Amino acid sequence: MHEMAICESILGILKDQAAKQQFSRVQRVCLEIGPLSGVEIDALRFGFDVVMKDSLAEGAVLEIDETQAQAWCMPCGGTVPLKQRFDPCPNCGSHQLQVTAGEEMRIKELEVD
Amino acid sequence: MIQLEQDILSKNNGYASENRRHFADHGILALNLVSSPGSGKTSLLVRTIQEIGGDLACNVIEGDQQTSADAERIRETGAPAIQINTGKGCHLDAHMVGHAVEHLSPADGGVLFIENVGNLVCPASFDLGEAHKVAILSVTEGEDKPLKYPDMFAASDLVLVNKTDLLPHLDFDIEAAIANARKVNPAIRVLKVSARTGEGMGAWIAWIKAARAMALAGHETLKAGE
Ligand SMILES: Nc1nc2c(ncn2[C@@H]2O[C@H](COP(=O)(O)OP(=O)(O)O)[C@@H](O)[C@H]2O)c(=O)[nH]1
Ligand SMILES: [Mg+2]
Ligand SMILES: [Zn+2]
């Protein structure tokens, strides 16, 4: 259950930003999470509410933008979509794939006051 | 609205970069050992340190949720070891490791083994500043582990398939396990070992020495192969 640790990292960033950018409340947090990031969205939502309790982001809305995973297929010489890490290339069946997108775990933007 | 575009684990990654710089400055090869609980990380470390003997200075950071039993098992070999208890935490993070390195002050030019908390999920996301993650998969676990925990096998450069002494008693298909690991990570290296009988330890130690030579390549004062 590292989603708790991830939520604590988010709270750490919110506090740093609050000091830097002079705000005291966070109303909305927008994240970008890739399907290969190892994050379970449901667990993250649950952990978010627990960790943000009694903080500057208590009750904040959590918006999650789930990105698509992609890989570079060496035999095809092109970018292909990927659902899971161990899936073969949908065009040629090869496993010679290099993940190029889908590992994102980012805070995109905040709504604050 | 504030645009951030900041990696959620940026703080951990910052500490990991500091650790990595420290290891580079001191010519230390840091290896992050990851596996399920009971795969044999501590047993393998004990045997590895014994077989490396005086060839290389070995230091160990032991991560467990509770108890310091594993650090004591390591110290019996004569190698310095420090225990980190993570309590409820299911993985080591780079900040904890940085503190442990300060206390342990591992020898320049040596190997620092970091035994992570037994868990195939969370440690995949937390960079500690290591040169390589080494996954340990024991033959009692089932050949589909690499598909069930793909992030860990994608993040590792080497898999040690441990407890090969038990193979005659099991229907574990070792080649299928290796094929599954390669589906997730085509570049992953695989070595078959037994911490019990010592089978395969020579190849594992050769891998460590080669990785250490890489860690020392271009180092100003410490030279590889000495
Ligand atoms: N048969 C056999 N048992 C092993 C081997 N390596 C470890 N074990 C046993 O597996 C159990 C867990 O080992 P341990 O090193 O504590 O695993 P860790 O939790 O990954 O550190 C212990 O009972 C060990 O004796 C091996 O190569 N063969
Ligand atoms: Mg152990
Ligand atoms: Zn292809």
B162 CA: nearest ligand 1 atom: 27
B193 CA: nearest ligand 1 atom: 27
pLDDT category, B218, cuts 50, 70, 90?
confident
Q: Mean pLDDT for chain B?
A: 95
Q: How far is A113 from chain B (nearest CA, A)?
A: 9
CA atoms of B61 and B95, how far apart (whole Å): 13
* Average pLDDT value for residue range B108-136: 96
Tell me how far apart the terminal alpha carbons of chain B are, to the nearest angstrom: 57
More confident site: A17 or B221: A17
Q: Is B79 left (phi over 0), alpha (psi -120 to 50) or beta?
A: beta
Question: Hey, of A3, A4, A8, A9, which one would you mutate to test binding to chain B, going by the most B CBs within 10 A of its CB?
Answer: A9
Summarised one tens digit per residue, pLDDT across range A29-78 is: 999 999 999 999 999 999 999 999 999 999 999 999 999 999 999 999 99
- Domain span at residue A95? 3-112
* Average pLDDT value for residue range B189-212: 98
Question: Which distant-in-sequence residues (6+ apart) come within 8 Å of A79 by Cβ?
Answer: A70, A71, A72, A73, A100
Helix/strand/coil for B50: helix
Of B7, B90, B183, the CB nearest to A105: B7
Domains of chain B in sequence order: 27-208 (3.40.50.300)
Q: Check: CB of residue B91 under 8 Å from CB of residue B118.
A: no
The two tokens of residue A18 are 């609050």
Cross-strand partners of B58: B111
Q: Check: CB of residue B163 under 8 Å from CB of residue B40.
A: yes
User: The domain spanning residue A59 has which CATH number?
Assistant: 3.30.2320.80
Chain A residue set in contact with B, beta carbons under 8 Å: 1-2, 5-6, 9-10, 12-13, 17, 21, 23, 31, 36-38, 84-86, 88, 95-97, 99, 105-112
Cβ contact B10–A36 (<8 Å) = no
Cross-strand partners of A40: none
CA atoms of B19 and B4, how far apart (whole Å): 26
> B224 pLDDT exceeds 60?
no
B39 alpha carbon – ligand 1 mean position (Å) = 6
* Average pLDDT value for residue range B121-133: 95
Q: B48 CB less than 6 Å from ligand 1?
A: no
Amino acid letter at A99? V
Q: Tell me which residue has its CA closest to atom 14 in ligand 1.
A: B40
Cα separation values, A69 from A33, A66, B155, Å: 10, 10, 16
Summarised one tens digit per residue, pLDDT across range A88-113 is: 999 999 999 999 999 999 999 999 99
Q: How far is CA B206 from the centre of its chain?
A: 16
CA atoms of B99 and B101, how far apart (whole Å): 5
CA atoms of B226 and B222, how far apart (whole Å): 8
Residues found in chain A: 113
Domain count, chain A: 1
A18 alpha carbon – ligand 1 mean position (Å) = 48
